[in-house]
Amino acid sequence: MSHAIDGLINLPPWLVLTLAFALPAAEASLFLGVIVPGEVAVIVAGVLAHSHRLPLWAVIVVATAGAVIGDSVGYEVGRRYGDRLLKRLPHRLVKPDHVDRARALLRRRGGWAVLIGRFTAALRALVPGMAGTSQLPYRTFLPFNVVGGLAWVTMATLIGYAAGASYQAAEHQLSLISFGLLAVIVLALLYRAARRSERLRGWADRHLGWVPRPGRALAVSLLVLVASGSIFGVLVEDVTNSHGAIGADPRLLRDVVDERTGWLTPVARTVTNLGVGPFVYAVVGALGMALWWRTRQWVLPVGAIAVLWAGQAVRVAINQAIARPRPPRALWLVQPGGYAFPSGHTAMATIGYGLAAVLLLRILSRGRVAAVAVGALATVLAVAVGLSRVYLGVHWPSDVAGGWSFGVAWLALAASLVCVYRRWSPKPPEPIGPEPAGSEPADLEPADPDAPTTTAAPE
């Protein structure tokens, strides 16, 4: 793959932009993605955008158009010719009942399969055709195709743009993301199949009956903990050993500083104050008091403050242990305190607004739409605070990435502990004693419908 990137980087910019359209378009339409991943050309185009040989917006627009058009062609190929291709395959390889089940699954959740499949090279070339073969409506396929294509192209382009001359490392990082997501998908499918297998469930009940079942919430929390913790661990290793991702920090910081404007600087100063400790504590405390006033339950409000305080304490300990210097003082627009990694404002905002979202949802008692809206608001606040720290010149980009990953990992750890406590804690005993007055006995026989009824005469 490195030789392919070396060859593309020396091509004329207009030809690289053409390939940034053609390779993503050919991934699903011609199944070329099985051989040559389309992100290669997109990363190279991002590298050229960093050196101002291509406009960044043009790379994103052109590559997204290629990805969306190519997947649409692959969908149409699957819809028209997919059945013929499947019938020609040996039944030992592709069983008809498996095909029917795959089609049913894609019809039920096909949009999310299209979106997730876009980020893995192994699935990107196959999912559009399978969606067409499964008769997934195109009106369902297209929105997820557009969102997935835009997100994937933007990620690949920005990775190439951020890496600059270190484009081989960028390709390696994107490959790790792709393989990691594929591993998560495979593990999720295996977990789902294991839960539906009567044989495996029977074996687990016989031999592992003493182990409590984890439950979906605990499984998701542990998965997020492993993913975010791994990212934070990689960043810690890079910072302590002065290699890897931090090599791009000076260039990225300089690019951000060069984009400073008169109107954006006061906005960044205001946004960065949203990550100050006293303000975050005030938000979480106010929502906790509102929840207590509504429910008269104090465990969650007090627990939220405790999680926030403990996360801050651990973050400070890591910060002092690593002792990474901040960027040059000449770049500062505000006066910071302490060392750089991980960013305290970013970690505080990530943990604090995540906890605030939980408290607010408990107060509102709304459904899924409210949960998505509140979660999106908390995410936007955490991201905005982190970006403001880089803009103000007081943190390296990897410091902010460390703050985000640490904050998410800390929230996932707290959620996992809550799930474990709820599942492993002893259940309250059934009440023993006389039944309340006016209640009917539990073993009362129903009245005979044929028996005559008597009505007391009025006095």
Quick one: pLDDT at residue 283?
A: 92
Return d(Cα 436, Cα 272) in angstroms, integer. 58
Which of 260-299 are b and which e, b meaning 16 or more Cβ less than 10 Å from the residue's Cβ? Answer: eeeeeeeebeebbebbeeeebbebbbebbeebbeeeeeee
Q: What's the pLDDT score for residue 381?
A: 92
What is the CA 55 to chain-centroid distance, rounded? Answer: 28
Q: Report the C-alpha gap between 12 and 337 in whole angstroms.
A: 47
pLDDT at 257 over 60: yes
Residues 320 and 419 in one domain: yes
Same-domain pairing of 28 and 97: yes
Same domain, 145 and 25: yes
The whole-number pLDDT of residue 215 equals 62
* Contact of 253 with 267, CB cutoff 8 Å: no
Positive or negative, the CA dihedral 135, 138, 142, 143 is negative
Q: Is residue 447 part of a domain?
A: no
Q: How confident is the model at residue 413 (pLDDT cuts 50, 70, 90)?
A: very high
Confidence of residue 427 (pLDDT cuts 50, 70, 90): low
**Residue 371 falls within a domain, yes or no?**
yes
> Which residues fall within 8 angstroms of residue 407, CB to CB, at 6 or more apart?
311, 346, 347, 348, 349, 350, 351, 354, 382
Instruction: Classify residue 211: in a domain, yes or no.
Output: no
CATH of the domain at 333: 1.20.144
Work out the average pLDDT over 270-285: 92
On whether residue 322 sits in a domain, the answer given is: yes
408: tokens are 């998410």
Report the C-alpha gap between 291 and 322 in whole angstroms: 38
In this predicted structure, which of 4-18, 274-288, 341-355 has the lowest mean pLDDT? 4-18
Spatial distance between the Cα atoms of 1 and 20, rounded to a whole number of angstroms? 16
**CA–CA distance, 325 with 336 (Å, rounded to integer):** 12
Q: Do residues 247 and 389 share a domain?
A: yes
More confident residue, 221 or 86: 221
Give residue 308's pLDDT. Answer: 93
* pLDDT given for residue 259 in this prediction: 78
Mean of pLDDT values over 246-259: 81
- What's the rounded mean pLDDT across residues 415-421? 82
Half-sphere exposure of 79 (CA within 13 A, CB side): 14
Same domain assignment for residues 275 and 193: no
pLDDT at 95: 54
Looking at the structure, do residues 180 and 307 belong to the same domain, yes or no? no
Point out the domain boundary residue: 148, 179, 198.
198
The rounded distance, in Å, linking the Cα atoms of 290 and 299 is 13
The total number of structural domains that make up the chain:
2
Q: Answer yes or no: is pLDDT of 432 > 50.
A: no
> Does residue 430 belong to any structural domain of this protein?
no
| Domain shared by 299 and 192, yes or no | no
Asked whether residue 8 is assigned to any structural domain, the reply reads yes
Look at residue 227 in the predicted model and tell me its pLDDT. Answer: 83
Of 177, 198, 219, at which residue does a domain stop?
198
What's the whole-number mean pLDDT along residues 417-438? 59
pLDDT band at 388 (very low <50, low <70, confident <90, very high): very high
The answer as to whether 20 is a domain residue is: yes
pLDDT at 98 over 90: no
Mean of pLDDT values over 172-183: 51
Cα separation of 343 and 272, whole Å? 12
pLDDT beyond 60 at 187? no
d(CA 98, CA 289): 53
CB atoms within 10 A of CB 413: 20
Q: Is residue 370 part of a domain?
A: yes
Most confidently modeled range among 217-226, 232-241, 275-284: 275-284
Where does the pLDDT of residue 198 fall: very low under 50, low under 70, confident under 90, or very high at 90 and above?
A: low
Q: What is the pLDDT of residues 309-342, one digit of tens each?
A: 999 999 999 999 988 999 998 888 888 888 889 9
Quote the strand ranges of 294-393, DSSP E.
Answer: none
Three-class SS of residue 136? coil
The dihedral through the CA atoms of 42, 43, 49, 53 has a sign that is negative
Q: Is 76 exposed, middle or buried (0-12, 13-18, 19+ CB in 10 A)?
A: middle
Looking at the structure, do residues 282 and 186 belong to the same domain, yes or no? no
Count of C-beta atoms within a 10 Å radius of residue 14: 10
Q: Average pLDDT, whole number, for the chain?
A: 76
**Could you tell me what percent of the chain has a pLDDT over 70?**
68
Where is pLDDT greater, at 182 or 292?
A: 292
Residue 295 shares a structural domain with residue 154? no
Indicate whether 296 and 351 sit together in one domain. yes
Q: Using the predicted structure, report yes or no on whether residue 383 has a pLDDT greater than 60.
A: yes
Side-chain-side CA neighbours of residue 161 (13 Å):
20
Q: Is pLDDT at 92 greater than 60 in this prediction? A: no
What would the mean pLDDT of 38-55 be, rounded to a whole number?
82
Dist CA 161 CA 43 (whole Å) = 8
For 12, half-sphere exposure in the C-beta direction (CA atoms, 13 angstrom radius) is: 3
Q: Which pLDDT belongs to residue 355? A: 93
Q: Which of 75-89, 144-158, 342-356, 415-429 has the highest mean pLDDT?
A: 342-356
What's the domain range around 256? 238-423
Both 94 and 7 in one domain: the answer is yes
407 & 344 share domain: yes
Is the pLDDT score of 241 beyond 70?
yes
Q: What DSSP character marks residue 11?
A: S
pLDDT digits (tens, 9 = 90+) for 8-24: 667 788 888 898 898 88
Query: What six digits make up the tokens of 320?
Result: 């002092």
Helix 2-9 vs helix 39-50: crossing angle, to nearest 10: 40
Q: What is the pLDDT at residue 32?
A: 62
